[in-house]
Amino acid sequence: MANQQLLLRNLHTFHVAAKTLSFTLTGKELHLTQGAVSHRIKVLESELGFNLFVRGTRKLELTEEGHRFHGTLSKSLHNIFSEIDDINTTDMVGEINIATSTGFANGWLLPRLHDFKAKYPKFNLNVFGHEEQQSFHENNIEVAIYYDSEGFTDVYRQRLFGDKYIPVCTPQYAKQHRLYEDGLESLKRINFIHALGSDVWQRWMKYMKLDVDYFEQFYCVSHREMGFLSAQHHLGVAMGRYQFVKDMIESGELVTPYPSMSTDKGYDLLCPLGTENRPKIRTFINWVEGQLD
């Protein structure tokens, strides 16, 4: 018999022709000439060993063998397409393993997941927060959202948003220490809130071309989100990534007494290359895009 690819092509052509009973209409549906359709049917008939159509002057009819064969073929195609739908549906109600930093999980992702649950109630999500970026294959990760992801190769990468650093504190703290009245001079008397392992205050001072001892008065916390919490409790000024603090700024819970610092890095959504169009992965990607809009 002809190779499988040609056989499948010709079977599909016969399936359409058996429904339309017209080589002309079949050609229009498959973007083929009438002659090309007729040739495919002849090749298939030769391979099968029996005629599929009775070719009249003005009318095309199925032979008895053609009727039988089309009935079997229709059932087989229906089963194939039903199986594809079932696989996709199963995929749509499965699980997704998502890895990100604890800061991104707490500051951006988790507060929005109630919307995902409402839209896709049959999805189960496993959200893993790590300070270190995780290997996809070693940790069974399907989707990751990381800041500065250039170290990953063989992945689908989509930039979600850039970011900027911005000093934040409560309105009460700003008023008490006259931060707006005295501007950058007030930096000499504030309590700096540092996150362990971060040099962002140092980089901000360099960016602003200032010479201020940011370790004269300070509190240091082990995680960035603890810095936001410290600022919320009037303990001083913390350095926030804008995407994590903008809701608190917009609500008036926090204020920004000093200028922000731009960065060329940002948050990327990643998944192993080739998996980005799997239904469940594409659903999650589309949902994230909707949250950005």
Q: Domain ranges in the chain? A: 4-92, 95-163+266-292, 164-264
Return the percent helix, strand and coil in the chain, to nearest 5.
Answer: 50, 20, 30
Give the C-alpha separation, 233 to 118, whole Å: 33
DSSP class of residue 106 equals I
Q: What is the pLDDT of residue 182?
A: 96
Q: Has residue 1 got a pLDDT over 60?
A: no
pTM: 0.56
Q: Has residue 4 got a pLDDT over 80?
A: no
User: Is the pLDDT higher at 36 or at 81?
Assistant: 36
- Per DSSP, what are the bridge partners of residue 167? 239
Q: What is the pLDDT of residue 134?
A: 86
Cβ-count burial of 207 within 10 angstroms (0-12 exposed, 13-18 middle, 19+ buried)? middle
Residue 261 token pair: 């610092």
User: Is the pLDDT higher at 210 or at 74?
Assistant: 210
Topology of the domain comprising 4-92? Arc Repressor Mutant, subunit A (1.10.10)
Given pLDDT bands bounded at 50, 70 and 90, which one contains residue 213?
very high
Sign of CA dihedral 264, 136, 83, 32: positive
The answer to whether residues 128 and 134 touch, using CB atoms and an 8 Å cutoff, is: yes
Q: What is the pLDDT of residue 24?
A: 92
What's the mean pLDDT in 202-218?
Answer: 95
233 to 98, 226, 254, 284: CA distances (angstroms): 31, 11, 10, 35
Q: Which CATH superfamily groups domain 95-163+266-292? A: Periplasmic binding protein-like II (3.40.190.10)
User: Is the pLDDT higher at 87 or at 115?
Assistant: 115
The answer to whether residues 208 and 166 touch, using CB atoms and an 8 Å cutoff, is: no
Q: Has residue 229 got a pLDDT over 80?
A: yes
Given pLDDT bands bounded at 50, 70 and 90, which one contains residue 20?
very high
Same fold, 4-92 and 164-264: no
Topology of the domain comprising 164-264? D-Maltodextrin-Binding Protein; domain 2 (3.40.190)
Q: Has residue 34 got a pLDDT over 70?
A: yes
Given pLDDT bands bounded at 50, 70 and 90, which one contains residue 31?
very high
The answer to whether residues 243 and 267 touch, using CB atoms and an 8 Å cutoff, is: yes
Which residues, in sequence order, are CB contacts of 120 under 8 Å at separation 6+? 92, 283, 287
Given pLDDT bands bounded at 50, 70 and 90, which one contains residue 43?
very high
Residue 20 token pair: 């339309």
Q: What is the pLDDT of residue 28?
A: 93
107: nearest Cα among 225, 254, 262: 225
pLDDT tens-digit series, residues 97-151:
999 998 889 889 999 999 999 999 988 999 999 888 888 887 889 999 998 888 8
Give the C-alpha separation, 268 to 292, whole Å: 13
Q: What is the pLDDT of residue 153?
A: 87
Put residue 117 in one of left, alpha, beta given phi > 0 → left and psi -120 to 50 → alpha: alpha
